[in-house]
Amino acid sequence: MIWKKLTIDTSVEAVDLISEFLSEHSVEGVMIEDNVPLSEDDLKSMFVDIPLIEGENDGTAKVSCFVDDSFDIDGLKADIAAELIRLKEFINVGSAEITVGETSDDSTWQNNWKQYFKPFRLYDNIVILPTWEEFDDIRPDDIVVSIESVMAFGTGTHETTKLCIGQLKKYLKPGQSVFDIGSGSGILSIISVYLGAGYVHGMDIDPDAVKASFENAEANGFDKDRIEFTCGNLLDSNYIAGVSKERTGDFGKQADGDAEAAKNTQEAVNCSAGQNVNSVENCGAGQNVNSVENCGAGQNAENAGSQAVDRKYDIVVANILADVIMPLSAVVRPYMKEDGLFITSGIIDMKEEEVKAELLKNGFEIIDVIHMGEWVSIVCK
C-alpha cells in the first residue's frame, strides 16, 4: 500500500502538542525524529537490541504521520498550519514547514532498519555479521555469525544476550544438546552450534521469530539435522512444542509454512479448522489433543505420538524476563537431563533475589551468578 507522508519541521518543545493535535484529528500514530540523547532509563524501558546512532541535540525535530486516501490531505495540512500559528504565540515551533509526499510500497519498510545494524565483535572471537555488510577484521580463530533477519529480539548487542553468550562459552561442551526457550532471532541457538553443540532446538511463541530464526540458520549453513526451530509455549498447559522428525521440503519454505500455520495454535502444521490443539501435524478436523502427529479424526489423545518429552537437553537457555523465568522454572525440569544446566538471563537486578528464591523453591541449585550493567544471568542445575 502507498501512504501519504505528512512531515512537520518543528522543535523538540512542540512535539508533544503537535502529536496530540494530530491524534485529535484521527491520525492514529506519529513518527518523531530528533537528536535528543536517550537516558539510561529510556534504554531500560525500550529493551534496545540494536546499536543506537547518536547525534547532536540542536533542538529541532520532525513529526511525521502516515495517512491513507480516506483523509483530506489539503484540509489536514491547512488545519496543522493554523495550529502552528496559534502555538507560535506560546512556544517555539521551529520553521513550521509542512511537506507532503508519498511513501514507497510499505512492504519494503521492514528492511529499513538494516542501515543501522553494523558488524561488531563479542568476547574477542565472535563476530556478528549482517549478511548485507562487509567486515575486514576477520581473524583466523573467529566465529562469524551471519544474521539475515532480526525481525525478532536478539542481535547480541543487549547485555542480556551477551550474558547468555558468555555463559554458553563457559559451560557448553562439544556434542551437548541445547534447548533455547524464547529463541527470538535464533542467535543463541546458532552460536550454540558454532560452540560445538550436537543438536539445538529453539522455540518461540511468535511465528515471525521462528521464521527469522530459520532464515538466520540458513545464512550460517546449518540444516535441520543440527538445529531446529518450532513455535510453542512451555507455560501453556505445560506443553513444549515438539520437533518433527520427518520434515520435508525446502528449509526456508518449511519455516514459512510452520510460522503461518502456528498463528492460531501453539504448533499446528497443515491442520483443518475446528481443532483444539497445541501441536498437531497433518491431522483431521475435530481433534482434541495436546501433542499428536499424523492422527486420525475424532481422537482424544493426551500423549499419543507425543513429541513433548521425547528429548531431554544438556543445557536449557532462557533469555526472556524475570516474570517469565520464574514460572518457567516450575515446568522446565522434565526436559533437562539429570545433570543438565539451566542458563537464565533477561533478569533486571531488582528481581534477582526473587528469581533466585523461585529457582530454589523449584529444586534448582544455583551455581553461577554474573552481572552486566543492571542485568543478571543465573546458572543453576
Q: Which residue has the higher pLDDT, 278 or 198?
A: 198
Report for 68-82, 298-312, 366-380: range of highest mean pLDDT: 366-380
Residue with cell 512492504: 107
**DSSP letter at 350?**
G
Least confident residue range of 58-72, 192-206, 275-289, 356-370: 275-289
- Summarised one tens digit per residue, pLDDT across range 96-145 is 999 998 876 655 666 666 776 777 788 888 888 777 778 888 888 888 88
* 3-state SS record for 275-334: CECCEEECCCCCCEECEEECCCCCCEECCCCCCCCCCCEEEEEEECCHHHHHHHCCCCHH
* 268 CB-near residues (< 8 Å, 6+ apart): 261, 262, 275, 277, 279, 280, 281
Highest-pLDDT range among 205-219, 253-267, 352-366: 352-366
Question: What's the chain's length in residues?
Answer: 381
Q: Taking residues 211-231, report their average pLDDT.
A: 89
Helix, strand, or coil (residue 40): helix
Distance CA 186, CA 189 (A): 5
Eight-class DSSP state of 24: H
**Which domains are delineated in the chain?**
4-112 (3.30.70), 117-380 (3.40.50.150)
For the segment 367-374, the average pLDDT, to the nearest whole number, is 94
What is the chain's alpha carbon radius of gyration, rounded to the nearest angstrom?
24
pLDDT of residue 275 exceeding 90? no
Q: What is the pTM of this model?
A: 0.60
Select the more confidently predicted residue: 45 or 83.
83
